């Protein structure tokens, strides 16, 4: 399996050179074989459009043809994070405070690994979530204990991610 840290070291400078931010690099295995997913965003919009994804895909393909960092066969997917985006960086938990999210932990807390609720932001290096399981409890999860997190598609999230008018 490819080393994600090494792939990040190769890809991130290409993303930064375009003035964008790398959201995540992930290798998955599915029906179509292995897929290397590179997710990036323009900080001005929180998204990439199709032409931006295509340009980055071409650039990454050219670089990977030269350095060949992945031994096995794979498909390359370059995408924008989308509306119900993954939360991969500490700043994502602060930026999207007030929106609904799902968090999965690496290790269980009181027999649970999965939590859903409203993001409250960051407390130091930990994400805070108000649970919506009837308890309304506030949980704090160290960022490094989070296996995966993503926003939940809601009307409020759709409204918050609409392109802003230039008027």
pLDDT tens track for 103-144:
999 999 989 999 999 999 999 999 999 998 888 899 999 999
Q: Is the pLDDT of residue 32 over 90?
A: no
CATH of 90-160, one of 3.40.50.620, 3.65.10.10, 3.30.365.10, 2.30.30.180: 2.30.30.180
Cα dihedral 65→67→69→70 (10° resolution): 30
Helix (H, G, I), strand (E, B) or coil at 4: helix
CB 144 within 8 A of CB 127: no
Q: Band the pLDDT of 167: cuts 50, 70, 90.
A: very low
Going through 42-136 in order, the beta strands assigned E by DSSP cover: 75-79, 100-109, 112-123, 126-131
d(CA 101, CA 99): 6
C-alpha distances (whole Å) from 8 to each of 40, 53, 93, 126 are 12, 17, 21, 23
CB 113 within 8 A of CB 105: yes
Mean pLDDT for the chain overall: 92
Q: Say what percent of the chain tops pLDDT 90.
A: 81
- What pLDDT is attached to residue 164? 53
- What pLDDT is attached to residue 37? 96
The CATH H-level superfamily of 4-79 is: RimP-like superfamily, N-terminal (3.30.300.70)
Read off the pTM: 0.84
What residues does each domain of the chain span? 4-79, 90-160
Q: Band the pLDDT of 166: cuts 50, 70, 90.
A: very low
Average pLDDT over residues 34-57: 94
Q: Do domains 4-79 and 90-160 have the same CATH topology?
A: no
């Amino acid at each position: 399996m490819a080393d994600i840290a090494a792939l990040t070291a190769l890809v991130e400078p290409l993303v930064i050179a375009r003035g964008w931010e790398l959201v995540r690099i992930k290798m998955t295995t599915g029906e179509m074989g292995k897929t290397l997913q590179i997710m990036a965003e323009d900080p001005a919009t929180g998204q990439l459009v199709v032409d931006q994804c295509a340009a980055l895909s071409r650039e990454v393909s050219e670089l990977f043809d030269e350095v060949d960092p992945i031994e096995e066969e794979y498909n390359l997917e370059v995408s924008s994070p989308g509306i119900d985006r993954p939360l991969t960086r500490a700043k994502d938990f602060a930026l999207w405070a007030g929106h609904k999210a799902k968090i999965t932990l690496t290790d269980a807390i009181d027999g649970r690994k999965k939590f859903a609720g409203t993001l409250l932001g960051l407390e130091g290096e930990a994400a805070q979530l108000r649970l919506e399981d009837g308890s309304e409890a506030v949980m704090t999860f160290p960022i490094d204990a989070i296996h995966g997190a993503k926003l939940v598609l809601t009307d409020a999230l759709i409204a918050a991610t609409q392109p802003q008018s230039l008027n």
